[in-house]
Amino acid sequence: MKATKFASLFGCLVVTLVSIGQLRAVPNTIITGSASFGGSRTASAASGVGLTTVYFAPGWAFQDGTGTFAGILSQAASFTSSFSFTGDGNSVVLTRPITNFWSFTVGGNTYSFNLSGLTNGHIQSDAMVFTGTGTLFATGFNATPATFSINGTGPGDFTFQLSFVTNTATSTPDAGSTFLLTSFGLIGLFACRRRIERQT
């Protein structure tokens, strides 16, 4: 009887620990660090008066990076042809999300960024600044929330030399999944206890 009771307890504990252990089973494959780009573009007009469109000129390049992007040499990057928005300052609204806002491939690995929205922005004839949010992608990594900033100056004709920096956002654990997995583990322990009590 003791041997059977011990075996039952051990079996239940294994099942329960496996359930709780799933909290740590997924490897940490989020993208980290930042990626910096340089290039030029033009704007249709100053922000704040109707629809404003920003056009990216050819020749954009990845310049350097940190974290996941550390050690990658400077190389050509593909940027979306344009994006449009309304408003000015913190009232800017992107007209539509953009897939592959930028992307480049090196060593068989592809890196890209999907633009989901703008959080601030302003354009005048000789300066431009934007911040926004989106999602980073890289071969072998999980999709990772990110923020970006664009800064640039120009000669006064809405033509700008720009720097574009994408930073990975701080991620937080999935509270819902954590709660469910922990609950299943506790339910397993309760079931073990009831099973052992019936056997005794």
Q: Per-residue pLDDT tens for 112-147?
A: 999 999 999 999 999 999 999 999 999 999 999 999
State how far the alpha carbon of 86 is from the alpha carbons of 48, 90, 123, 125, 169, in Å: 7, 11, 11, 17, 25
- Which is nearest to 62 in space by CA: 156, 138, 190, 165? 165
Answer whether residue 3 shows pLDDT above 60: no
97: amino acid identity, one letter:
P
CA–CA separation, 86 and 47 (whole Å): 7
DSSP string, 110-123: EEEEEEEEEEEEEE
For the chain, state the CA radius of gyration. Answer: 25
CA–CA separation, 172 and 191 (whole Å): 31
CA–CA separation, 13 and 188 (whole Å): 8
Please tell me what DSSP assigns to residue 142: B
More confident residue, 101 or 5: 101
Q: What is the pLDDT of residues 163-174, one digit of tens each?
A: 888 888 754 444
Answer whether residue 27 shows pLDDT above 60: no
- The residues spanned by each domain of the chain are 2-26+174-199, 34-168
Q: Does the reported pTM lie above 0.85?
A: no
Which residue shows structure tokens 């009831």?
Answer: 194
**What does pLDDT average to over the chain?**
78
More confident residue, 81 or 198: 81
Q: What are phi and psi of 170, to 5 degrees?
A: -70, 125
Under 8 Å between Cβ of 78 and 98? no
Cα 109-115-116 angle, rounded to 5 deg: 135
